[in-house]
Structure 1
């Protein structure tokens, strides 16, 4: 299916209106998974022409995505990854866990960005960062698309390694489903129960009578404050 390639339009706009020159594109992967971390990539690209075929990682074949990630990692000015563990997701809630992973990624960059382009509608990052949200930014914005591809490939590799660890979790099919819902994943959960890498606050446990007692329903006060519009008490 033809698509419009991403551009530097948003970066140019930010440069013109704010004077910011170091701008990071930020995207996440793993939000809807049952297992594994939520992973955020922050990528700084400048205004150079990107590798051919760059777009939202979900629109690229797995083979080309892997090739493209390798090209991007040497093409970008800099990039960094941040993760929030399943335990942090259970304790904090997804919004706060996303912010934690994003801050970890941004803090790991060699130079602090002056502005951030965040994929999606909602600003889960907030102050003190200067944030521009862009719906479908992973399709329209070069820096966000680059972050999307790198995050997807890196997290998929992590999950594949997890699934192959001594064969202990091979039955869950992490190499194929990356921790997302799938028939193989559900069957393994029914038979074996959740692993230490599963999110125990997720609704999938409601459909597993044998393991339902493991579900965590408590969310921290900090996460509750954030979800209701309050301020987080974390010192990042």
Structure 2
């Protein structure tokens, strides 16, 4: 299906209206997975022309995505990754875990951005970051598209590496599903239960009565406020 390539329109708008010079595109991967971290990439691209074929990582074949990520990591002005572990997701809830991973990525950049373009309609970052949310930003904004591709490829590689740790982990086929639901993943969960890399607050455990006792339900009051749509304005 034809698609419009991403542009620097949002970056130019932010430069003109806010005076921002360093603008980071931010995107996440792993939000809906049953296992593994949620991973956020922050990418600063400037206003240069991007590599050919850049768009949302979900619209690119795995082979091309891997090739493009290698090019992008050398092309971007700077980029950094942040992760929240399954344990942090269980403890904090997804919204707060996303914020934690995003802050880790942004603070790992060599220079703090003046503004952030965040994929989606919800600002899970909040203060003190200056955020512009863009629905389908990973398709329309060059910096967010670059972050999307790098985050996807790097997290997929992390999940594939887990299979090498043990025969038990290989049973979940993380190299094929990256921790997301799949028939092989579901069958391994039913037989073996969750691994140390699984999220134990996820609803999939409700369908596995033999393992349902492992489910975690408690999250912090701060995380509950974020999950319900509040903005606490943390200063990490």
Whole-Å separation in 2 of the counterparts to 1:163 and 1:38:
18
The corresponding residue for 1:215 is 215
Q: Could you list the per-position Cα deviations for residues 93-144 of structure 1 after superposition, in whole angstroms to 9, with x for gaps in the alignment?
A: 0000000000000000000000000000000000000000000000000000
Instruction: Give the structure 2 partner of residue 152 of structure 1.
Output: 152
Which residue number corresponds to residue 8 of structure 2? 8
C-alpha distance in structure 1 between counterparts of 2:189 and 2:29, whole Å:
22
Shift of 1:229: 4.4
- The answer to whether the Cα contact below 8 Å between 2:6 and 2:139 also exists between their aligned partners in 1 is yes
Aligned Cα RMSD in Å? 1.1
Where structure 2 has 5 or more consecutive residues not aligned to the other structure, the ranges are none
* Mapped contact 1:36–1:199 kept (Cα < 8 A): yes
Aligned counterparts of 2:85 and 2:205: Cα–Cα separation in 1: 18
The alpha-carbon deviation at position 227 of structure 1 amounts to 2.5
**Structure 1 residue aligned with 2:67:** 67
Tell me which residue corresponds to 1:86: 86
Specify the SS of the correspondent of 1:5. Answer: coil
Within 5 Å, give how 1:67-146 maps onto structure 2.
67-146=67-146
Cα deviation, residue 221, structure 1: 1.3
Q: Is the 8 A contact 1:73 1:79 kept in 2?
A: yes
Please list every run of 5 or more consecutive structure 1 residues that lacks an aligned counterpart in the other structure: none
Q: How many angstroms does 1:228 deviate by?
A: 3.4
Q: Judge conservation of contact 1:80–1:109 (CA < 8 Å) in 2.
A: yes
TM-score computed with the length of structure 2 as normaliser? 0.98
Q: 1:13 to 1:67 in 2, by over 3 A?
A: same
Matches of 2:213 and 2:29 in 1, distance apart? 28
- 1:93/1:223 contact within 8 Å kept: yes
What CA distance in whole angstroms lies between the structure 1 residues aligned with 2:89 and 2:233?
A: 16
Checking the alignment, whether the CA contact within 8 Å between 1:222 and 1:233 is kept in structure 2 is no
Does structure 2 retain, via aligned residues, the 8 Å contact 1:223–1:232?
A: no
Kindly state the Cα deviation for residue 166 of structure 1 after the two structures are TM-superposed.
3.1
